[in-house]
């Protein structure tokens, strides 16, 4: 996972960051030739990114045509003034980019486990409530199998 650039996150930092995120931007190749970025809720589960949605919407159609995708998650901590001139301002941020392929999850057991993990992440205390098989079948869950994962941060020291 790790990259060798300035401000590169370590593998444990990337994992922690993805485990604590709520949403990211799924980037697919649009069927019309334009790149398409879609904000989605996600869960990092078993070293993979999972998200849910309609099995008939734009992201599902794009992924059916070309399963390659990019998934970006970012968090800003604002800006830090680093000096007395106008340009002495630095962004404080963390970001992770996952490149890989995405596919619908077909296994009902994996699908339910992922939905429960997502609910546990987004609405703590609700993941163990009953979940009907009909609801599980009705929603599409997608899994991104990562081919590369990079993370970067800028955490400037305050003056």
Does an H or E element contain 137, and which?
helix 133-138
CA distances from 112 to 25, 86, 140, 153 (A): 23, 52, 11, 34
**Percent of the chain whose predicted confidence (pLDDT) is above 90:** 66
Query: Looking at the predicted structure, is the pLDDT value of residue 3 above 60?
Result: no
Higher pLDDT, 138 or 73: 73
Domains of the chain are 11-154 (2.30.110.10)
Higher pLDDT, 49 or 133: 49
Please, how many CA atoms are within 13 Å of residue 51, restricted to the half-sphere of its CB? Answer: 29
Tell me, what's the pLDDT at 1? Answer: 45
Tell me, what's the pLDDT at 11? Answer: 94
Structure confidence by residue, pLDDT tens digits, 83-111? 899 888 888 899 999 999 999 999 999 99
């Amino acid at each position: 996972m790790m990259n060798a650039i300035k401000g590169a996150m370590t593998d444990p930092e990337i994992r922690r960051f993805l485990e604590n995120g709520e949403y990211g931007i799924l980037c697919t190749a649009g069927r019309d030739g334009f790149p398409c970025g879609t904000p989605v809720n996600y869960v990092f589960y078993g070293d993979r990114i999972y998200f849910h949605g309609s099995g008939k919407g734009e992201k599902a159609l794009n992924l059916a045509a070309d399963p390659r995708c990019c998934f970006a998650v970012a968090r800003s901590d604002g800006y830090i003034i680093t000096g007395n001139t106008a340009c002495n301002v630095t962004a404080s941020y963390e970001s992770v980019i996952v490149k890989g392929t995405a596919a619908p999850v077909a296994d009902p057991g994996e699908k339910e486990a992922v939905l429960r993990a997502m609910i546990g992440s987004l609405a703590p205390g609700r993941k163990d409530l009953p979940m009907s098989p009909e609801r599980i079948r009705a929603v599409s869950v997608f899994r991104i199998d990562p081919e590369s994962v990079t993370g970067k941060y800028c955490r400037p020291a305050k003056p």
